[in-house]
Amino acid sequence: MSDRMPPSPPRPPKFPGSGKPESPNWGVWVMVLLIAGVLAFGFFTPESFGLGPRKENLESFEAQYKAGRVVLNDPKAPVEVVLSENGSEGVIHALVYKKDIQPKVEMKPFVLSYSMSLPDRDKPLLNELSGYRMVESPYRTEAGKNVSIIPEEAQKLSVPEFNRLALEGRIAGGNEGLLLAEDGNQNVLVGQIVTRIWPAATGDASVDKQRFERVEVPFTLEFQGDRVKQLLGPDTKFKRESGSWGGILLNLLPIVLILVILFFMFRAQSGGARGAMSFGKSRARLIAPDKNKVTFKDVAGISEAKEEVWELVEFLRNPEKFRDLGATIPRGVLMVGSPGTGKTLLARAIAGESNASFYSISGSDFVEMFVGVGASRVRDMFEQAKRTAPSLIFIDEIDAVGRRRGSGLGGGHDEREQTLNQLLVEMDGFGDNEGVIVIAATNRSDILDPALTRPGRFDREIYVGCPDIKGREEILKVHSKGKTLAPDVDLKVIAKRTVGFTGADLENLLNEAAILSVKRGLEMISMAEIEESVMKVSMGPEKKSRVITEEEKRQTAYHEAGHAIATYFCKTQEKVHEISIIPRGPAGGYTLSLPEKDEHYRFKKKLFESIIVLLGGMAAEKIILDDTSTGVSSDIKRATQTARAMVMEYGMSDELGPVVFDSSNAEPFFGREGGQVKNYSESTASVIDSEVKKIVNGCYEKSKNIIKENINKLHDVANFLISNEKMTETQFESIMNPAEI
């Protein structure tokens, strides 16, 4: 018997885990319908479907009662008050007029006089009303005489009374609208009060559903009983409910039925070969070849990674070509990269190009609180993949289950390590004719178990990093399909301004630009919306509504001006693109410098000058304000981190020389800091701290010197920001070098 795979892949079964389509289990469906019926009977009332009385609170019912909407004179539907069996709670049963019945409306004139010096918070709610007009005086001239515009029968209102009526919607303007006039030091407001009178009950209210509806008003006797008696009258009769065994059994019947049905369902399920509620079944999601439409055309910006995995596609398509020369395909591929770089998309593209079944699962889906469940799920997943071969299994975040053994509590007997052991066994158990390839993704390859990454398991490691400028342009072209871009949109320019963006970031960028264009009522996405979205994705949205004092505004302006001045005179730094003192995200302002190209290496001088730029805001505050704010904390933190990296990682300290002081031998179980072991002495640590302090203090002094030498330009930039809040690159250059503008 030949061990070669057939040239064309077999059609996957309809249901994963079986060789033929399964027929529906009618018994299970019947039990599901019974449970749904019992739940509807036991836990839903006619009121839930709008078939019974409408529930109301006591306050709403009281308002309707006082408005005359409660039916009182119908003997067939009297107002009843029913108390519970224990007498602690009660329910009012009544009929009320529906809201769509039009009441009789009466108008009564009013007049309101209030002082002009009245505080704004106490003035009438004129801003909430419309239709009022101003007149010069509360008098008008008729036949040569001054006649008051205030009707004689007008009701005098106070300001609180007017505000209450306005909130209730009972203020109307009349024929001429509300009139507001000045009379000395007072304002005089003239209008009309609206009073709605409901019609008296006529006909058979108990059956006239067009005009009336039933309501139930629950209340607590201890706290609301007196209020109910006062509302309905002292002669109100309270009727008490009487419990019975029939009612009790009727209430318990749904619960009993549910328990019986669940008992038979669990009994039937546990009788099979895979009982225990299928905890051991794989949770991998299957995407059949005919459903997976992702190909390499949908993957951009990672051309090197695509070239490395192309041989996997060739093997799945034509395995004989490799076996004829004695070559074996890698059994597993490990993709390493930051989140959002396209690892999952690349795995789906491999399956789509090779017409293979694609199983996707996260590493955390294997591990449960029950012992042995993870290992069982690994076995079931590989069994399914073998039945639907050629197949591709993608395990995302494999570091959740593939950490180095012995690093956790429990030695080699905890659930995670048992799951890992089963994964190692399954990958070793592959034959040449299995047609199953495993692809795993992680951004922590350093903590994976060595047995997992050895040849024969995950044979190959592919780095999927952030795209370069060419890759970003290709990604933008992919995600711009289906979007209407304006003629001024240049994807090359966007690619230059999005250094460090991943594929997911770029997709989100264009989506945010599309949303912003819709909000602004535009038919196309222009460059302005895309640039605004770049800032939003990078730093968060602008907080224009945030109230900033003049002192804070001045402090922020000089702070950002200090950053900009320091950037201008540090020639290794990128040009200033934009300065703003409008809060955005967690920052009170920002100075934006856009790199013109991707950098793979940073030299010592550039790192020094980056610290000078970071401390430029603090230097400006100290020189101008003779004080420093908490707004410099993030700048100091970044400056210190850069200086410490120069000393400990890059070997840029003159005192310590080209030596790396690292803690890379930390235990992965304890995290990045908890298990760190220093590979240097305490005396060396003291020298490291001294060198870091020396670098930071030296850069701070240089930053202050730059600010002092260009103090006039600092004032010009800060004053411009105080007046305009934003400054473009051209405006900044015109201040720094007016001769060239």
Cite the active site residues: 560
Measured between alpha carbons, how far is 687 from 692 in angstroms, rounded to an integer?
Answer: 9
Residue 99, SS3? coil
Q: What is the DSSP letter of 13?
A: P
Residue of 672, 673, 651 lying closest to 660 (CA atoms): 651
What does the block give as tokens for 730?
């051209």
Measured between alpha carbons, how far is 365 from 373 in angstroms, rounded to an integer?
Answer: 10
Measured between alpha carbons, how far is 337 from 703 in angstroms, rounded to an integer?
Answer: 37
What is the maximum span of the chain, computed from C-alpha positions, in angstroms?
Answer: 122
Q: What is the DSSP letter of 75?
A: T
What does the block give as tokens for 46?
């006619």
Please tell me the chain's helix, strand, coil percentages from 3-state DSSP, rounded to the nearest 5.
45, 15, 40
Residues 6+ apart with CB under 8 A from 468: 301, 598
Strands 212-220 and 54-55 turn out to be parallel
Where are the alpha helices (H) located in 520-615, listed in sequence order? 527-539, 550-569, 604-614
Residue of 417, 418, 507, 433 lying closest to 467 (CA atoms): 507
Q: What is the DSSP letter of 297?
A: G
Measured between alpha carbons, how far is 710 from 702 in angstroms, rounded to an integer?
Answer: 13
| Single-letter residue type at 531 | E
Give the helix/strand (H/E) hosting 191: strand 186-197
Measured between alpha carbons, how far is 113 from 264 in angstroms, rounded to an integer?
Answer: 78
CB 382 within 8 A of CB 426: yes
Cis peptide before 390 (omega within 30 of 0): yes
Residues 6+ apart with CB under 8 A from 422: 374, 375, 378, 379
CA 406 to chain centroid, in Å, comes to: 37
Measured between alpha carbons, how far is 62 from 215 in angstroms, rounded to an integer?
Answer: 12
CB 476 within 8 A of CB 491: yes
Q: What is the DSSP letter of 110?
A: E
Please, which residues bridge with residue 190 across strands?
Answer: 111, 179
